[in-house]
Amino acid sequence: MQLKKSWVTSANSPETHFPLNNLPYGVFSTDENEPRCGVAIGDMILDLTLLEEEGVLSVGDEPVFDLPFWNEFMELGAEAWLDLRTRLVDLLAEGGDSAISGNEALKSRVLVAQSDAQMHMPFVVTEFTDFYAGRHHATNIGTMFRGAENALPPNWLHIPIGYNGRASTVVVSGTDIRRPLGQLKPPNADLPHFGACKRLDVELEMGAIVGTGSTMGQPITVAQADEMIFGYVILNDWSARDIQAWEYQPLGPFQAKAFGTSISPWIVTRAALEPFRTSTPPREFDLLPYLREPGPMLYDIALEFALQPDGADKATVLTRTNYREMYYSAAQQLCHHASSGCEMNVGDLIGSGTISGPEKHERGSLLELSWGGKEPIVLDTGETRSFLEDGDTATLSGFAQGNGYRIGFGDCVGTILPAVEAPRDLPRT
């Protein structure tokens, strides 16, 4: 597919992540306006709240863009999703509907520079589930802790493994992350103690957003699951490795993951990603019929992780990998999630699991990059890291490369703040 030309000239640059081919959805505010729905186009944001008020844009019977989230629009379903995208392309394309381009007064009101806007959570997260579905990542972690011969659990090649996380601490890019507290038990200690995490990590992931729900008691197919996905974000499921090491047996991650998950600010739709579909890798064992895909369900999306220490003038790129490395697609994960009859809701967020490739520079976490802290990483500044230090800024980014254009998500950024003082019990009176 070729680049679609827009009268918003910045959208025609081959370097922009927001051409007319993309049109991702977000929530933004300015000094003059409260948070509202918008669409990224080049270096600008199109204000859908104002367009709806002016009657230029109408979807459904009631206003849906005067809210600080996209959930109401998602609930309208796939036909409305297509209608909105078609209308936006017509309004923004060269030679299209001139309702905006031919009205200078309206144009000046509905186009906002991204540099003048603050981004907010683009949707209300109803539930958050994170998976462990990257084979290279799972193999690396398993090798570190159980040896190469037992790297993958017996079920791993048959089932997408996941756990239920916390929707309450999913935050938008740019939100600082406080170093978590928790129970810690160093290997040489007899008893645990309570304190600040010392092995704080990133997890480079993609997030799929459920746009239409399912019915309790009713499983869904992989094809149905794919159609339920509204769009995708880049996701950082921050991880407290030392807290997790003590708590995770037998029920898996809990507080080690509950303290924060960051997402990029723009929801990139399935329609925008359609040209970049690719297949999951060959299977060592045939999957059970309910998990088999009717066609390509992954996407070719190049991803990066960069780390910038406090006071440094630049970041060091530590990881370059690709979403196509996943063993299970988001559609398979969603299908499996609903296979027991679990009800899926509009606004559910599905984390892919850490995305790592076969080479060292493709590893999507510091735990892998430093091999459990045994091989510290040297940054461009000359400093070394095994895990995150206070003041470090982690930036996850990515895009799909088309013919003369890119489909991007906006950066997923978080800076680590020091832990708060640990609470203490007061003496009883």
137 in catalytic set: yes
The secondary structure of residue 403, as a DSSP letter, is B
Q: How many helices, marked H, and strands, marked E, lie in the chain?
A: 11, 27
Cα-based distances in Å from 279 to 114, 184, 276, 294, 323: 34, 41, 10, 10, 11
**10 by DSSP, 3-state: which?**
helix
Contact by Cβ (8 Å): 201, 225: no
**383 by DSSP, 3-state: which?**
coil
Question: Per DSSP, what are the bridge partners of residue 44?
Answer: 41, 113
Question: Per DSSP, what are the bridge partners of residue 119?
Answer: 28
Q: Which of 206, 214, 239 is nearest to 365 (CA)?
A: 239
CA dihedral 124, 196, 388, 139 (to 10 degrees): -80
Q: Which of 17, 120, 136, 137 is catalytic?
A: 137
The first and second tokens of residue 57, run together, are: 């844009």
The secondary structure of residue 150, as a DSSP letter, is G
Cα-based distances in Å from 133 to 75, 98, 288, 290: 28, 46, 16, 17
Cα-based distances in Å from 184 to 200, 386, 420: 13, 18, 16
Q: Which of 350, 374, 349 is nearest to 140 (CA)?
A: 374
Cα-based distances in Å from 153 to 279, 366, 420: 24, 22, 36
**268 by DSSP, 3-state: which?**
strand
> What are the residues whose beta carbons fall under 8 Å from the beta carbon of 2, sequence distance 6 or more?
403, 404, 405
Contact by Cβ (8 Å): 351, 344: no
- Letter for the amino acid at 126? T
Q: Which of 394, 425, 422, 426 is nearest to 243 (CA)?
A: 422
Using only the alpha carbons of the chain, give its radius of gyration: 22
CA dihedral 212, 276, 266, 128 (to 10 degrees): 50
Active site residues: 137
